[in-house]
């Protein structure tokens, strides 16, 4: 097990709410920060941490010590999945500098430059290796498992001739056919989730084959919930790695100063 996965989940990446209007940066400052950070960098943050798909016109609307809020336009993929206008707040590590309320023009320029440097370095953090399987850990996860497995078992029981199911659940052949059609549709959607899971595992998995199989199996059963859980773990480890790299860089700077 890696050192990163052993550390406590002090940096929890999700969920974070979009900022309130009063917490947003002044529009002029939004323009300055957004212009300083390249669109490519902001796009990378969105794609890696909120699964945005080729985001357009990203704009920094708020900053705190441990997060960045980005507004962007999402090209249409699936209306029910990502509407056009999006604002997401993403956890950042290590902590960002906070601009004083009465900052001068010089202080503001220095702050913007440091924000640009920190966010850029954050996107350059190497993809985190995941080496453990995380089972369903929320009632929503378990309810999804129960519904899918229950539905599957009812169909299997009917096909095996279990009288109770035929008598009280699928009382007509038409009702059974509708259930099978719905279940097939769910499985088609699950296949997309499984493919996404396999892509993530190919990129990030460093554990044993048992853990990998468990991730794939749960993606068949849970679908997007399992994929989301893996993405959350990757994001958490990325935060830990980014924080550790910053501490290492600080230590190196101190050592170089001592030698001088």
Mapping DSSP onto H, E and C, the string for the chain reads CCHHHHCCCCCCCCCCCCCCHHHCCCHHHHHHHHHHCCHHHHHHHHHHHCCCCCCEEEEEEEEECCEEEEEEECCCCCCCCCCCEEEEEEECCCCCCCCCCCCCHHHHHHHHHHHHHHHHHHHCCCCCCECCCCCCCCHHHHHHHHHHHHHHHHHHHHHCCCHHHHHHCCCCHHHHHHHHHHHHHHHHHHHHHHHHHHHHHHHHECCCHHHHHHHHHHHHHHCHHHHHHHHHHHHHHHHHHHHHHHHHHHHHHHHHHHHC
In this structure, are 88 and 113 located in the same domain? yes
Whether the per-residue pLDDT at 95 is higher than 80: the answer is yes
Domain count across the chain: 2
Q: Is residue 109 part of a domain?
A: yes
In this structure, are 48 and 158 located in the same domain? no
The overall average pLDDT reported for the chain is 82
Measured CA to CA, the distance from residue 236 to residue 228 in angstroms comes to: 12
Per-residue confidence at 158, pLDDT binned at 50, 70, 90? Answer: confident
At residue 71, what are phi and psi to the nearest 5 degrees?
-100, 140
Q: Which of 120-124, 167-171, 194-198, 252-256 has the lowest mean pLDDT?
A: 252-256
In this structure, are 202 and 233 located in the same domain? yes
Measured CA to CA, the distance from residue 35 to residue 71 in angstroms comes to: 14
Residue-wise pLDDT tens digits, 64-86:
988 999 999 987 755 555 568 88
In this structure, are 150 and 231 located in the same domain? yes
Name the residue with tokens 């300083």. Answer: 36
Residue 98, domain extent: 3-123
Q: Is residue 29 part of a domain?
A: yes
Question: What is residue 5's predicted lDDT score, i.e. its pLDDT?
Answer: 38
Count of other CB atoms within 10 angstroms of residue 130: 25
Strand order in the sheet with 67-73: 56-64, 67-73, 85-91
Whether the per-residue pLDDT at 238 is higher than 50: the answer is yes
In this structure, are 186 and 228 located in the same domain? yes
More confident residue, 224 or 248: 224
In this structure, are 33 and 61 located in the same domain? yes
Average pLDDT for 58-66: 93
Question: What is residue 162's predicted lDDT score, i.e. its pLDDT?
Answer: 78
0.75 exceeded by pTM: no
């Amino acid at each position: 097990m890696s050192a990163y996965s052993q550390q406590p989940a002090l940096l929890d990446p999700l969920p974070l709410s979009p900022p309130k209007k009063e917490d947003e940066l002044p529009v002029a400052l939004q323009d300055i920060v957004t212009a300083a950070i390249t669109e490519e960098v902001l796009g990378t943050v969105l794609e890696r941490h909120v699964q945005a798909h080729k985001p357009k016109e990203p704009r920094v609307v708020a900053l705190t010590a441990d997060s960045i809020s980005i507004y962007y336009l999402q090209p249409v993929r699936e209306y029910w999945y990502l509407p056009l206008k999006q604002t997401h707040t993403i956890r950042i590590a290590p902590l960002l500098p906070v601009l004083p309320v009465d900052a001068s023009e010089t202080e503001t320029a220095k702050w913007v430059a440091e924000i640009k440097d920190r966010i850029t370095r954050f996107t350059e953090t190497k993809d985190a290796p995941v080496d453990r399987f995380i089972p369903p850990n929320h009632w929503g996860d378990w309810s999804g498992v129960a519904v899918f497995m229950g539905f599957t078992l009812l169909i299997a029981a009917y096909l095996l001739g279990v009288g109770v199911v035929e008598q009280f659940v699928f009382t007509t052949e038409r009702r059974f056919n509708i259930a099978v059609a719905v279940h097939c549709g769910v499985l088609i959607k699950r296949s997309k989730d499984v493919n996404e899971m396999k892509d993530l595992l190919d990129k990030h998995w460093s554990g044993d084959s048992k853990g990998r199989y468990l991730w794939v199996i749960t993606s068949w059963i849970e679908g997007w919930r399992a994929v989301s859980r893996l993405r959350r773990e990757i994001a958490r480890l990325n935060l830990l790695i980014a924080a550790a790299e910053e501490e290492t860089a600080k230590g190196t700077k101190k050592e170089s100063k001592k030698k001088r």
